[in-house]
Amino acid sequence: MAIRSAGDIDPATPVIVGVGQASERIGDADYRALGETDLAADAVRAAFADTGVDGVASLIDVAAAVRSFEKSSPASSSPLGRPDNMPRAVAARTGMDPRRAVEEVTGGQSPQHLVTEFATEISAGRTDAVLLFGSEVMSTVRAAVAVEDRPDFTETVGGQLEDRGYQIAGLTSIDEVKHGVVIPIAQYSLLENARRHRLGRSQAEYAAQMGALFAPMTVVAAENPHSASRQTMSAADLAVPTDENRRVSVPYTRRLVSRDQVNQAAAVVVMSVGAARAAGIDPSRWVFLHGYADLRERPLLERPDISRVPSATAALDAALDMAGIGIDDVADLDLYSCFPIAVSTAADHLGLAPNDPRGLTVTGGLPYFGGPGNDYSMHAIAEIVERARRSPGSFGLVAANGGVMSKYSVGVYSTTPRALPTSTSDAVQAELDIADRVEISRYADGRATIETFTVLNPDRDDRAGMVIGRLYDGTRFVATADGEPLLDLLCGSDDPIGTTVYARSSASRNIVTLTRAELDERHPRPSVGFADEYRDLIVRRDGHVLEVVINRPDSRNAISPATNAELDAVFDAYFADPDLWVAILTGAGDKAFSSGNDLAASAGGSGLSMPENGFAGLTARRDLPKPVIAAVNGYALGGGLEIALACHVIVADEKATFGLPEVKVGLVAAAGGLVRLPRVLPPALARDMILTGRRLDAAEALAHGLVSRVTPHGDVLDVAREVAREILAASPVAVRSSIRTMTTADAQPDTVTAVRESLDVLNTVLVSEDTREGIMAFVQKRPPNWSGR
């Protein structure tokens, strides 16, 4: 609740007491080509000066940096180098010696989230003076890497640093990466086209609306001395494609998307009222946080309605409710504007028109003011604070967005004194999290409909189409749009959403075309059968037995994408061949059954090319109707153990070794090890192996039931063949029926129910020729002659 006067304020109440911005543009007379650290230091000095008193730098207890784009993901890099500790590098330039240095997670929500977090820390008495800052010099770096005499921004600072990492899990998925839905333009275009369909707008109508939404921002940007662009543009200037304003996607032109080639920095000083008083900072400069919210959206493919973002609208409501005001009470606001839908989502919910007299941005927006990486909203907060001071008692709102509308943070500011309210975000988040999720099909096959789509570079020869669709069973998938007819439809139709397409999966991706005939012509299904020769395998038939040898001894029989494809095809052929009744899988040489995924061969993204049936064509196969024996003749590590676990019987050489070492190289046993190992071994032992990479020798594996037989060294294949002969001595119908029933029962948690349902197996077995033959052979005291029918 509001406080009547500054004198009544609790000394622990957090207040913003200083804000500062710095920028430079290539080509300007005063351009200095500063690195991130030096430009940030300029903004920090400006924020300290804005407090109106000297000596603030010495009071700072915590310095927290917004994460730069140069280290925002595993794929990012610093071509000109950077400090190893950005907060302390800036501190050294500005007279600070903070107890704690922090580098925040990736995302445009970061500036507002940091204000919320450290306002809470101050209110709880854990600190009393915090500096928040961010800096980007992407424009300078881009220009500098093109010249021979490059600057070097590398700096070894050392010291304590709380590096919070990327924390970008959930912002994209393996399925999106496989289909190129990685860059923000592609991701937001999918959302935008879904919204256009929901509103029933034509492409031309919707483009005009996007232009009208953003045109007023160019006016604000033109008046902002820190803007990257100082040009006022009309709605048509923004939305109509021209040579200077090409379409970068359907539906975006270049002028409708965030401008990331900028050199901009901003800083905010937050202190407790007690510390601000002690420093002598004029209370007229104090700005209070009246309302706030920090919420998360579920991953893109799981969202029930791709055109809507309930977490964003809930965050706006929660922050305004906390402040005890409505949107009509807000004098100034800044809605995150990386792409039009980020603004329209908030504006639609709040009932704001594009020409609202207050404006929808105080900076000029990300496409025109500029999009300095994760730090844009620090500039918005600085502008809101300055406006709040100019109009005491007024309210300002900042809405900050990260990811694909994935993380949303809102702050409501005013000079009116108020104690920091208690957060309601956890309760609101809990309500959001219980909503239904859409089931995803990783491998899509058959007739489907387009749910949303985009085409990158739609007017160039290298155009690339992406589709999110729904299969007949309602599951959602992402696919590459293939074929000129479909691409023409996506680029030119007013509303291709709802159009029937035809999907086909492969190890690398899903494909959709406009007709089934085109799909069959361009992407024919591979024929099922054995090849004349294999690159990585040795395949032998011996009567009813198939022997498959992984023949890559130089790499310890590690599985490359090519090996995966060959094994998948071989097991397809085995399960389809009525004359093959048992298969044996082993590795060449005596060193390894398989050492798992060939990381070198899978580097650069091809490691995502796993068959629908899983690693080696076995680990995710829904049905293994005939026996597969693993003859483990050495190392069965990582994916090698996961392959063995997928087999029905494991026979091990006495020198065999079993383990899941993935955690030691930053990976996880996601090809079945995390699921199957705890079901086979005692749970405590399984957890030990999974979490530490502990290995078992053959004797331990036998003692704990991981393998069924251990052989003298060098005899494992012979013993596996003997096991195969023992299986062949049994009825193939009974063996296959037993496999099917065990698989079904494994999914049934109740034992009694599973036993009762298992009686259904007799419906198949009792009417088979094999049962009749088995009984007759027993009566006649002769070996049975199985037909397998």
Annotated catalytic sites, by residue?
642, 662
Largest CA distance in the chain: 107
Determine how β-strand 709-711 pairs with β-strand 582-587: unpaired
Asked if residues 218 and 368 have their Cβ atoms less than 8 Å apart, the reply is yes
CB 591 within 8 A of CB 548: no
Angle between helices 732-746 and 751-758 (to 10 degrees): 150
In angstroms, the CA 254 to CA 340 distance is 12
Q: How many other CB atoms are there within 10 angstroms of residue 611's CB atom? A: 25
Nearest residue to 318 via CA among 227, 428, 228, 173: 428
Residue 759's CB is within 10 A of a number of other CB atoms, namely 9
Q: Which amino acid is at 36?
A: E
Do the Cβ atoms of 511 and 687 come closer than 8 Å? no
Closest CA to 292 of 107, 102, 427, 117: 117
H-type alpha helices, 624-768:
639-646, 673-680, 683-692, 698-703, 716-728, 732-746, 751-758, 761-765
Task: Determine how β-strand 649-653 pairs with β-strand 628-632.
Answer: parallel
What tokens does 231 get? 């040009």
Q: What is the token pair recorded at 446?
A: 């058959």
Q: Are 175 and 478 in contact (CB under 8 A)?
A: yes
Cα–Cα distance for residue pair 185/162, rounded to 1 Å: 31
Q: Give the amino acid at 448.
A: A
Give the list of residues 6+ apart from residue 478 with CB closer than 8 angstroms, or none.
175, 176, 179, 181, 301, 466, 467, 468, 469, 510
Main-chain phi, psi angles of 535, to 5 degrees? -75, -45
Contact 412, 447 (CB under 8 A): no
Other beta carbons within 10 angstroms of residue 439's beta carbon come to 12
Write b or e for each residue in 64-80: b if 16 or more Cβ atoms lie within 10 A of its Cβ, otherwise e: bbbbbbbbbeeeeebeb
- Three-state SS string over 5-59 comes to CHHHCCCCCEEEEEEEEEECCCCCCCCCCCCHHHHHHHHHHHHHHHCCCCCHHHH
**Integer Cα distance of 436 and 27 in angstroms:** 52
